[in-house]
Structure 1
Amino acid sequence: MKEPTPSISRPKYQQAAPGASLLKKTFVTIASASLLTGLGAVPAAQAAKPDEAKNLVVNGKFDAGTEGWRTNDANTEKLSVRKYAQGAVAELRTTETKTAVLNDITNTIKSTEADASYTVSARVRTEHPGIWGQLRTRIVGNGETKIVGESFGLNDTSWTTVSFDLTVPTSGSTVDLNVLAWSLDPSKNLIIDDVKLVERDAASTQPVPAPVEEDPKGPATVEEDPKGPAPVEEDTQKPEQNTDTPAPIQPEPIDKCDVAPKTDRTLFGVSLGGSTTGAKETFAQSMARQDANYDDTEVVRLFDPGMPVSWSKRAPYIEDKTISISFRPDPAEVLTGQHDAALLNWFNAAPSDQTIYWTYFHEPEPKIAAGEFTAAQYRAAWARIAKLADQACKPNMHATLILTGWTANPRSNRDWRDYYAGDSVIDVLGWDPYNDATSQEGPKSYASPESIFGNVVEISKNAGKPFAIGETGTRLIPTDPNGTQRAEWLKDVARYLDNEDALFVAYWDSKTFADFRLLDSASRDSWAGIIDGKY
């Protein structure tokens, strides 16, 4: 919590990407009529070539240039086609950092039959590693939009095949097909080829697209084609449909050991904090004090400075609570494997009947900036520990990355994905935003929840991850000595974060260089009521 959180209104934040090298299927339902706009008449698609008779995608190999394709914004997203003797590939670029979308001009499927099944696939690569995106379909019908997609991360320049199966439950729906590059930098590109959507019966008889070594269109690096690229053909057609911002995508469970966290409402709680008298407390005493202060808190935020403390020492005092716990062994030590056995034992011994959000090394940004370890080491250590958690197979435990609130602010010049070990590792995005975390003089006002939490909410939702607030808080302002204004601000925060579907919110009821504790009765009673669902 030792970084600033400026109290400013957030700017529009471009859709962010899960930075994963593994592919991950995602799904969301949006009951909103506004997403049905822009689906009117469009130019009729040309018939597929005979050798693509079972492929419903128009010009999926881009042999006809950009025909059948467009971007969502011709002014900032640039679509071109490179032609070679062996075939053609499409290229997406941008004029500013933003999500670029390759969009079918006419919805690939105009009207479905109930329970129709398809296989969707495409090949993607980049000449500038570090690209994240998604192959997705938008199913529109019966007043709602459903998205099924497969995320990808490109960490080298080789071709990657992305594919997933799609079943449309209702008849009469349309299916829109897109390939997205999340937060694409103008200096980078996404190259796309062999976009297919085939009926499942037909798909079962077709082989999976061959890896690049067997690709009849030539080598992975397209510039190596001896005939070189043909003149670029840019798509100049203005968007005619489906121009809405890509909807956030919620991940589906992968298996019984990776169940997406879910709550009927946002849960609220506190950190254990420190004794108001300054006397040392045992864990049992601290927990009893906070339960008395807040009438049995729902969530407890725990911190271990090194390896996690044994469950046997804490379990009797935290029964029936949602637990947010972080531990901080050095990444270099983790990567040697020296902590593997102890960590696996810790995961195995964890309670199975409580929701546990576990975090490896919360707020790593300052440590990385100071050179204590690298972002790559941090991500690799996360991945190693997550594999141990997978071995324990505890569906009630969720890997939660917790970053500072400042990192989500564009003024920080940070990219949250630098610390993100990938979709297959991280289950929940956690954040620590404050109302003025670090100034010596303290806050002069209680900033609006939107200005404090808006960036982290938008990043999390655009990344397709559930989110939580691992820490938050505020000191009293000069005009509020009795805490009555803070008490109302706390309720505003609770309503805002509950409305945005935060999984949990923990108040930083602690004293560091400054005092964030809720010592006045107005603030304490307010937070106790919030924990009890009264806000």
Structure 2
Amino acid sequence: MILPLSRSRRSAARVLTGTLAAGLVFTGLYPWVEVPKASADTQYVVNGTFTSGVSGWKTNSKQQSISHVANGRNGGAARLSATTGPAGSVLNDQKSTLTNVAAGQTFTATAWVKAEEPGMGGHLRVRAVGNDGVDTHREYFHLKDTNWTKVNFTFTNTRAGADFDLNVVAYDLAVGTGLLIDDVKLTPGTDAVDADPNDQIGGYLTEGGTYSKIGIPSEGAYFGATVGSNGDPSSFEQEVGGKLGIRRTFYSPTQVDWAVDNAKTDIASKRIPWISFKLPHSWNDMAAGKGDAWAEDLVAKLDALQGPVWLTFHHEPEGDGPIKDWVAMQKHLSPIVKSSDNIAFATILTGWHQVSGEEQYSLENTWPGDGLVDIVGFDVYNYDETVKDGKVRGTSPMDTYFQEFEAFSAKHDVEWGIGETGINNEAAASDPEWMQRTYDQIVNRGGIAMSYFNTHLNSSTTWEITDSLKTKQFGEVLKDSTKIK
């Protein structure tokens, strides 16, 4: 099976590691690698306090700027800004903060950040660059005020001989404003902080393996459905002979409490809730922060649930407005969602527009940015035996799409899945293996979810599962699919 980079990264993180003797670590790949000794007050970052300047630091392009200011926490600080904007900006160490780091060592990264204007977002990250690939460890922040805020996280290096690239990233800085940064540190050991929820074990899967706190499975793909109009799926589950692995539901901005209640029920029933919201304001207004209070309330309520939730804002945006505004909205809302430890931030596109449509809707042009999205979803249907404008339509083989999604997933280190799909009654009768074949293709391409659109709502043909044939086909796939234990 061909796996995307992110799935390979999770496998690498599970390499057997154990301490054999003081100062020695054994890994399944590199035995007897010596761990450098360090005291409790060891600090590896060069000029992380910016006392007298910004030496040792750089930005990533001429459109970004770094300067020294006096109003730091205890003296000087770095000010990160954009010369053209709004644009992302990166405070980057000029030389790797650490080099040739052995696998198995644990570190804590810390930075203090302050927004010159409320609403700024970004993340602190360490890129562990090894000969066999790159692991990115990060912690997100969303600054509601202009006070100094501490950002930190603990991670364990899994790449033998890695060089550490340390950055503070700011999203969409407007010209004339900036992000202040101070007291950047990288220290050995832990510092009582939470690790990336994408790497923390949330529980176990019925077929073996684990899932993370935000619901990412270590292997396989969840299989499930939209059922009716967000109603109780238990009757459908009885018909198909098992619990859904994932359930898609859809809400208006005024239906937050209903969505939270349904998500709570899904979690209790061992389903992954994948929920979509339309927004209380335009994409442009949401990107400007007008909907922050609404989004923060939603995230706080979902964060209180005892299990993973996948959250999407305005799925299938193609044709609904300026796509650049949609991308800006996703960039702005991502840090709010990522302030939780159990919510995966997911975007959903049609898939067809990205593979066969206009350039403005290409995968790259609809991408909010690396590290901002946990799952990119697509709504790809089988249009065989459907009629449009009096003509019987066909469809490209589904795996043609999945191949594109797999390559994009590997390039941007993001998971992918199918948020909606369907086949009408005539096509299901002529191609009874379609549902199983499609699920297997998704798994083989590294996808982590397949959700069937089992409803008559907004349906152009008989997507809904109403006959015994499609019920049997669905049940056969569900039986051996990935589920939460």
Is 1:422 the counterpart of 2:344? The answer is: no
Aligned to 2:249: 326
Question: Displacement, 1:68?
Answer: 0.8
For structure 2, the 5+ residue unaligned runs are 1-7, 13-39, 204-211, 410-414, 443-485
Q: 2:298 aligns with which of 382, 387, 393?
A: 382
Letter in 1 for 2:200: P
Distance 1:494 1:378, change over 3 A: same
Amino acid at match of 1:301: T
Q: Match of 1:386, SS?
A: helix
Note the C-alpha offset of 1:105.
1.1
Instruction: Output aligned runs, 1:44-59, within 5 Å.
Output: 54-59=42-47
| Equivalent residue runs for 1:19-58 within 5 Å | 54-58=42-46
Aligned residue number for residue 262 of structure 1: 217
Aligned length in residues? 379
Residues 109 and 168 from structure 1, CA distance in 2 versus in 1: closer, same or farther, beyond 3 angstroms?
Answer: same
Consecutive unaligned residues in structure 1, runs of 5 or more: 1-26, 32-51, 209-248, 268-297, 438-445, 511-516
C-alpha change, 1:412 and 1:251, in structure 2 (3 Å) is same
Q: Give the TM-score normalised by the residue count of structure 2.
A: 0.63
Kept in 2: contact 1:111–1:173 (CA 8 A): yes
CA drift at 1:380: 4.1
Residue 70 of structure 2 aligns to which amino acid in structure 1?
Answer: K
Give 1:114 deviation, angstroms: 5.2
Indicate yes or no: 2:281 matched with 1:368.
yes
Give the direction of change, closer, same or farther, for the CA distance of 1:430–1:518 in structure 2 (3 Å limit). Answer: farther
The residue matched to 2:356 in structure 1 has which SS?
coil
Q: Of residues 417, 429, 440 in structure 2, which corresponds to 1:504?
A: 417
Q: Tell me the alpha carbon deviations over residues 375-416 of structure 1, each in whole angstroms, 9 at most, x when there is no partner.
A: 34642452254145x2xx34xx53332523327986452312
1:495 and 2:403 correspond: yes
Question: Deviation per CA, 1:325-362, whole angstroms, max 9, x where unpaired?
Answer: 2153763773xxxx6996587346x532xx43331xx3
Q: How far apart, in 1, do the equivalents of 2:262 and 2:396 lie? A: 42
8 Å Cα contact 2:91/2:168 also seen in 1:
yes
Deviations 1:46-82 (A, max 9, x none): xxxxxx9832221111123121111111x11100001
Identity of aligned residues (%): 20
Shift in alpha-carbon separation, 1:347–1:386, aligned structure 2, 3 A: same
Larger radius of gyration: 1
Q: Does 1:78 align with 2:1?
A: no
- Distance (Å, rounded) in 2 between the aligned partners of 1:253 and 1:261: 10
Asked if structure 2 preserves the Cα contact closer than 8 Å seen for 1:115 and 1:169, the reply is: yes
Aligned-partner Cα distance in 2 for 1:309–1:329:
15
Distance 2:322 2:357 in 1: 18
Query: Post-superposition shift, 1:492?
Result: 2.3
Report the AA paired with residue 144 of structure 1.
G
CA contact 2:129–2:159 (8 Å) conserved in 1: no
Q: Is 1:413 aligned to 2:325, yes or no?
A: yes
Structure 1 residues 253-402: aligned runs within 5 Å: 253=200, 255-256=202-203, 258-262=213-217, 264=219, 298-304=223-229, 308-318=230-240, 319=242, 321-328=244-251, 331=254, 334=257, 343=262, 346-347=265-266, 350-352=268-270, 355-359=271-275, 362-365=276-279, 368-369=281-282, 375-376=291-292, 378-387=294-303, 390=305, 393-394=306-307, 398-402=309-313
2:122 touches 2:168 (CA, 8 Å); kept in 1? yes
C-alpha distance in 2 between matches for 1:263 and 1:55: 34
Structure 1 position 133, deviation (Å): 1.4
SS at the partner of 1:110? strand
Q: Which 10-residue stretch deviates more, 190-199 or 490-499?
A: 490-499
Provide the TM-score with structure 1 as the length reference.
Answer: 0.58
1:316 corresponds to which letter in structure 2? Q
- By relative contact order (CA 8 Å, sep 6+), the higher-ranking structure is 1
Kept after mapping to 1: 8 A contact 2:324/2:366: no
Q: 1:251 aligned to 2:251?
A: no
* Backbone CA RMSD of aligned residues: 4.6
Whichever residue aligns with residue 403 of structure 1, its letter is H
The one-letter code sitting in structure 2 at the alignment partner of 1:315 is: E
Give the secondary structure class of the aligned counterpart of 1:90. Answer: strand
SS at match of 2:400: helix
> What aligned pairs does 1:78-477 form with structure 2 within 5 A after superposition?
78-83=65-70, 87-96=75-84, 97-113=86-102, 115-169=104-158, 172-200=161-189, 251-253=198-200, 255-256=202-203, 258-262=213-217, 264=219, 298-304=223-229, 308-318=230-240, 319=242, 321-328=244-251, 331=254, 334=257, 343=262, 346-347=265-266, 350-352=268-270, 355-359=271-275, 362-365=276-279, 368-369=281-282, 375-376=291-292, 378-387=294-303, 390=305, 393-394=306-307, 398-406=309-317, 411-414=323-326, 415-417=329-331, 421-423=336-338, 424=340, 426-433=343-350, 435=352, 447=356, 452=361, 454-455=363-364, 458-459=367-368, 461-470=370-379
AA aligned to 1:469 is F
CA distance in 2: counterparts of 1:464 and 1:164, whole angstroms: 19
How much has 1:493 moved relative to structure 2?
A: 2.1
Q: C-alpha distance in 2, partners of 1:471/1:135?
A: 35
More strand by share: 2
Measure the CA separation in 2 of the matches of 1:99 and 1:187: 14
Distance 1:54 1:520, change over 3 A: closer
Q: Partners of 1:474 and 1:126 in 2: how far apart?
A: 49
Deviations 1:484-503, CA, capped at 9 Å, x for gaps? xx332644223323444564
Q: Would the aligned equivalents of 2:117 and 2:145 in 1 still touch at CA under 8 Å?
A: yes
Question: Using a 3 Å threshold, how does the CA distance of structure 1 residues 251 and 460 change in structure 2: closer, same or farther?
Answer: farther
**CA apart distance, 1:143:** 2.8
Query: CA offset at residue 529 of structure 1?
Result: 6.9
3-state secondary structure, aligned to 1:463: coil
- Per-residue deviation, 1:317: 2.7
> Contact 1:490/1:527 (CA < 8 Å) preserved in 2?
no
Aligned with 1:400: secondary structure?
A: strand
SS across alignment from 2:99: coil
Question: 3-state SS of the aligned residue for 1:458?
Answer: coil
